[in-house]
Amino acid sequence: MGKEVDKKFSWVIKNFCSVRAKKIYSDEFVVDGCKWRLLAFPKGNNVECLSLYLDVACSESLPSGWKRNALLRLSIVNQVSEKLSETKATQHWFDATSSDWGFTSMFPLSKLHDKDGGFLVNGELNIVASVDVLEVIGKLDVPDESEEATKSLSKLEEDDGAKSSDFLEEASPVKESMDVNEFQVLPSQVESVSRILERHPDIASKLRPKNQHLRSANMSVLLSLIETLCQSTQELSKDDLADAEAALEYLTKAGLNLNWLEEKLEQVSAKKEKEEAGETRMQEIEEELKDLKLKCSNLEAQLEKEKEVVSLARASLSFDDVV
């Protein structure tokens, strides 16, 4: 059984340059009751790039008709500067005919092997996968109280995702739900959903899913997205904002009118950029101030020495000194 992770899985490939195999797999990990693993082609899958995919573990043993809809983000970590890390995102329906999905041209091998690039440090390559399971058809690999998954959401544009062969929240079944304008939500969510619908009455005018589970799943994702944007920029990471953008794209494609939320996300992203730029400038100023303090300290020491010289020079000679 794979390790249960909270949507994110880290894979460290040691002695990467010495790997001879055409393709290698990570250990299995579990997200939302589903077993996964990463698949990498260290020398590229017929391209001059590192090829990287998310794979359904033990897919051949799953019952006929299984399907999994997942949003995935794959990152090649720059160990010198996180800002230089390479991340790609896509969404895919995994099934028996397409049990892995990802990026054939994930990252150029020339940049990866650059000795000063920061991606290979002490021979180690760090990869991070972020997986959001949107819907499962069939039983979970690791059942939660023996329930079948009923997560659902519609398809995102698939970027350049591909099979190796060629900031979304879980919407769990709600036991005690309440109806708010045809959205089934938890009692704790009623006030928030009511305020959203009151301020933006046309939000669901073009919402395509009529199925109650799908509509509720959309609202659950929207509430999670709003909660994310309510965090301080200090709490938000770039990954959080990237997940938020993916969630917003998904909700927009599902038919929700979220122009107002797109503006808020842009504002939060701009504030995050200002915060990072400010932190960088603060560090620069602190270094400058440190240098100035050291210079002042040296000048003060020189000043004291000169005072002693002047004091000695000003001293009068005594009669005995002269005679």
Q: What is the pLDDT of residues 31-52, one digit of tens each?
A: 888 999 999 999 999 999 999 9
Question: Is position 153 within any domain?
Answer: yes
Q: How confident is the model at residue 76 (pLDDT cuts 50, 70, 90)?
A: very high
- CA distances to 9, 105, 217 from 42, rounded to whole Å, are 19, 11, 38
Residue 137 scores a pLDDT above 60: yes
Taking the C-alpha atoms of residue 310 and residue 323, their distance in angstroms, rounded to an integer, is 24
Residue 218 lies in a domain: yes
Identify the domain containing residue 94 by its residue range.
Answer: 1-166
Please tell me whether residues 293 and 212 are part of one structural domain.
yes
| pLDDT of the residue at 227 | 86
Same domain, 103 and 239: no
Residues 118 and 53 in one domain: yes
Residue that is last in its domain, among 111, 143, 166 = 166
Question: What residues are paired with 132 via a beta bridge?
Answer: 71
Residue ending a domain, choose from 116, 144, 166: 166
pLDDT above 70: residue 212: no
pLDDT(17) > 70:
yes
Residue 77: the pLDDT is 93
322 part of a folded domain: no
Q: 91: which DSSP letter?
A: E
**Tokens 């009751």, residue located:** 33
* Total domain count, the chain: 2
Does residue 151 share a domain with residue 184? Answer: no
* Residues 1 and 140 placed together within one structural domain of the fold: yes
**Stretch 221-241: mean pLDDT, rounded?**
84
Q: Stretch 204-227: mean pLDDT, rounded?
A: 74
Fill in the DSSP letter of residue 21.
Answer: S
The predicted model scores a pTM of 0.53
Q: Which two tokens stand for residue 264?
A: 């808020």
323 assigned to some structural domain: no
Q: For residues 104 and 309, what is the distance between their CA atoms, to the nearest angstrom?
A: 75
